[in-house]
Amino acid sequence: MIDWQSIDTVLLDMDGTLLDLHFDNYFWLHHLPQRYAEAHDVDREVAADEIYQKIRQLEGTLEWYCLDHWSELMRMDVPSLKTEVKHKIQIRPHAEVFLERLKALNKKLVLITNSHRRGLELKLSLTEIDQWLDIIISAHDFRSPKEDMRFWQQLYLVEPFDKQRTVFIDDTPRVLRSARDFGLEHLICITMPDSQKPAQSSAEFTGISHFDEIMPPLDEVEPWPIQH
């Protein structure tokens, strides 16, 4: 599926790609509505409907991913609420081995996420996936989400890469379309971002459920040199 010898750079999404999207879905659709209902003395169904409508209105915008913006909307400390269910933050199957092998192959690993820095820091502190990453970039650094062409233009200026020798892995088709419009050829869509939900179809992009489907074989990974 991927000729790893022809790839120099691997661009990786975080939520739903390296990390299980179940945490985010649970937080936004269950935990936040419950805590909002308790804090503002409203029915939980009313709270859930109000939050869902705001999610739909903001979907795909930078504000949708901004925890500061949500804290203002909810009149609550959303980052602190996330820590209440931090035990649900989990690395997706085979992700660690996948990152280890890519590092052994000397690939440049760049995390590009729409996650707000405060949420990003929480997840990195718990999973420690940053130990394998060369660069970590939040879309908030560029003031444009990955859905926006300006994100890709700024990324290319900050961390230039060969579009023909780069693979981008994400779980969101609209983000992958933006990358395709920018000129990236090797695009992989995660079809099972939430471990608690069935896999989705991906007719538009090459789809995988887990990283073992595109894992570089061991015979391509050079052994570490022995020191004498």
pLDDT in tens, the chain (228 residues): 799 999 999 999 999 999 999 999 999 999 999 999 999 999 999 999 999 999 999 988 999 999 999 999 999 999 999 999 999 999 999 999 999 999 999 999 999 999 999 999 999 999 999 999 999 999 999 999 999 999 999 999 999 999 999 999 999 999 999 999 999 999 999 999 999 999 988 889 999 999 999 999 876 555 444 343
Report the predicted TM-score, pTM, of the whole model to 2 decimal places.
Answer: 0.92
Measured CA to CA, the distance from residue 182 to residue 184 in angstroms comes to 6
* One domain for residues 159 and 106: yes
* 181 & 163 share domain: yes
Q: Is residue 226 part of a domain?
A: no
Query: Are 16 and 104 within one domain?
Result: yes
Distance CA 99, CA 7 (A): 14
Residues 206 and 95 in one domain: yes
Q: Which residue has the tokens 């004498």?
A: 228
Q: How many structural domains is the chain composed of?
A: 2
* Residue labelled with tokens 């939040």: 138
Q: What is the Cα–Cα distance from 51 to 41, expressed in whole angstroms? A: 15
Report which of 121, 120, 109, 225 is spatially closest to residue 168, judged by C-alpha positions: 109
- Answer yes or no: is 114 within a domain: yes
Radius of gyration of the chain (CA): 18
Same domain, 100 and 189: yes
- Tell me the CATH number at 186: 3.40.50.1000
Same domain, 71 and 173: no
DSSP state of 181: H
103-138 b/e with 16+ CB inside 10 Å = b? Answer: bebebbbbbbbbbbbbbbebbbebbebbebbeebbb
State whether 199 and 145 are in the same domain. Answer: yes
